[in-house]
Amino acid sequence: MAQSVFDQMPKVMGHRGACGLAPENTLASIQKAADLGTKFIEIDVCLTQDNVPIIHHDMNVRRCTDGEGPVLLKSLDEIKALDAGSWFSDDFRGERIPTLQEALALISKLGLGLNLEIKPTMGWQLPTAEQVAHELIADLPENMPLLFSSFSEETLRSTSATLPDVPRGYLTEAVPLDWERRLRDTGCASLHCQKEFVTAENVAAVKAAGYKYLVYTVNNVAMAQKFLDWGVDSIITDFPDRMFAGLKLDEKAVTSA
């Protein structure tokens, strides 16, 4: 399955949907990414107090809603009462935080591939991974290209045990000196690096070892082109429209890595 997912992964991936153009991790952002022609998106999943996986990045709801407080201390009803759109623009007033189930339904309808970052509150890595896996076993649409990613090695190992056929990506800021051991120990197929720490040398080394290399969050076209020229497999961006307009991509590269 790992190879088939990467075979379908394009050179440009939408970050939290298309979060430069719509409020991140909402159904509106996912729809916007698809409207722009994006074929693969990255979104974040975490847990509510009542153990429901929802699409949200931060531990606290403060930055992207009209509420306050940790997600893990709020019920789904409390989460659904929050406005997750007006902070971005009045055009999105009333947009809600979606559940994983709601996001999967829309992603499936739009025919997108998914890089699902599992984003547990520290200390809640295993319950988060286990519940996300449980819901995916029940609700994952057939034939949806799916990649897990996480900064948490515990989370990556847990998903390896429960969903061994879903490939995993090791998220990092700087590339660790022992990156190959970490990828091997967590069973990951790809390394996902923050843009500031990408070098031609570490791209070459990771690729030579047989792993895929993804970079986040790249919003400058010239920087993205440089990374692709070095052999990076996919660029994760807030602005897919900029990348489609500015990168030297043939038709196959837009839809397949």
Q: Residue-wise pLDDT tens for the chain (257 aa)?
A: 566 899 999 999 999 999 999 999 999 999 999 999 999 999 999 999 999 999 999 999 999 999 999 999 999 999 999 999 999 999 999 999 999 999 999 999 999 999 999 999 999 999 999 999 999 999 899 889 999 999 999 999 999 999 999 999 999 999 999 999 999 999 999 999 999 999 999 999 999 999 999 999 999 999 999 999 999 999 999 999 999 999 988 644 444 43
Residue 252 is predicted with a pLDDT of 43
pLDDT for 4: 87
Token pair 């893990």 in the structure block, residue: 72
Is 57 annotated as catalytic? yes
For the question of residue 134 being annotated catalytic, the response is no
Q: Where are the domains of the chain?
A: 2-255
Q: Give the residue from 182, 102, 104, 107 showing the smallest Cα distance to 150.
A: 182
**Domain boundaries 2-255, corresponding CATH code:** 3.20.20.190
- What is the per-residue burial (b if ≥16 Cβ within 10 Å, else e) of 198-224? beeebbebbbeeebbbbbbbbbebeeb
> How confident is the model at residue 2, as a pLDDT?
63
List the catalytic residue out of 56, 57, 134, 192: 57
Distance of alpha carbon 215 from alpha carbon 1, whole angstroms: 22
User: What's residue 3's pLDDT?
Assistant: 62
Question: Which among 15, 56, 134, 192 is annotated as catalytic?
Answer: 15
Distance CA 233, CA 235 (A): 7
> Partners of 25 in the beta sheet?
none
pLDDT at residue 255, as a whole number: 44
